[in-house]
Amino acid sequence: MLVPSASPLIFQQGLADLGHTTGQVRLSRPPITFLLFAWLGAWAALPALALQGPAAPVAVCVVSPRVEAVHEGDALGLVPTPRPQLVVIDPLLELRIERRGQLVWHQLAPAGKPFQAPLAWPLDPIAPAEVVLLKLRPQQAPEGAFAHVQLVGASAQRMADTEALIRSLGQRAPAWLAAIEAALEAGDVALAWALLFSPQLPDADDLTALRAEVVRRGCGD
């Protein structure tokens, strides 16, 4: 049964104040790494408050896909890949996915056992220009309180270009780091986040540390 209304929600988008390096990251190319962290800090988004009801706000921190707060506290994100990785900082009690107004996927946590993202995309790929609605209920939210996140598929050309880029990067960690930096320099945060949280990301110290730091920082303190 779908819940027609939700409690007030605060949407926050990681990450905050990452304009520095950490001891975990090996600075094999210092200027590029410093620039990368500076861009990550600069592109942290501000929280937005929804006003749908009288209850206390429920905070949900969505790191990936990259989303922005829109009207009434909902969040909207353009996804350049058809199977985005979902990274939410908060443990979840419930996740619903709707397509064209119909519930197509539902995960409900057993009593006392919230589940944790990252979660691989569990359905058929998102089509170009398709709108998919995620409803997330974090651990402290009452029944019926959902954060609404709308994911919109990018154009067919952009999705194809992203898939081709990922294939071309292979398992070359420096190439992935350079591609993420290039996306951020171009202001394409959606692409940078899609690369950083791609399941194909190589298991390399620099990339692992960068992704871990993004998740650790979440939406700021």
| pLDDT attached to residue 184 | 85
Helix axes 205-217, 189-196, angle to 10 degrees: 120
Burial grade of 102 (CB within 10 A; 0-12, 13-18, 19 or more): exposed
**What's the pLDDT score for residue 31?**
44
Q: Where are the beta strands (DSSP E) in the chain?
A: 9-13, 48-49, 58-64, 68-69, 75-79, 87-88, 92-99, 102-108, 131-138, 147-153
pLDDT score of 58: 61
> What's residue 210's pLDDT?
84
The answer to whether residues 25 and 33 touch, using CB atoms and an 8 Å cutoff, is: yes
Q: For the chain, give me the number of helices (H) and strands (E)?
A: 5, 10
- Residues of the chain under the 50 pLDDT cut: 1-32, 43-54, 221
Cα–Cα separations (whole angstroms), residue 63 to 29, 125, 198: 26, 20, 13
Distance CA 48, CA 194 (A): 23
**pLDDT tens sequence across 84-137:** 999 988 899 999 999 999 999 999 999 878 998 789 999 999 999 999 999 998
CB 127, CB 82: distance < 8 Å:
yes
Distance (Å, rounded) from C-alpha 41 to C-alpha 168?
27
Dihedral, CA of residue 156, residue 158, residue 161 and residue 163, to nearest 10: -70
Reduced to 3 states (helix: H, G, I; strand: E, B; else coil), residue 216 is helix
Taking the model in full, what pTM does it have?
Answer: 0.77
Judge whether 75 and 152 are in contact, CB under 8 Å: no
Give residues with Cβ within 8 angstroms of 204, minimum separation 6.
173, 176
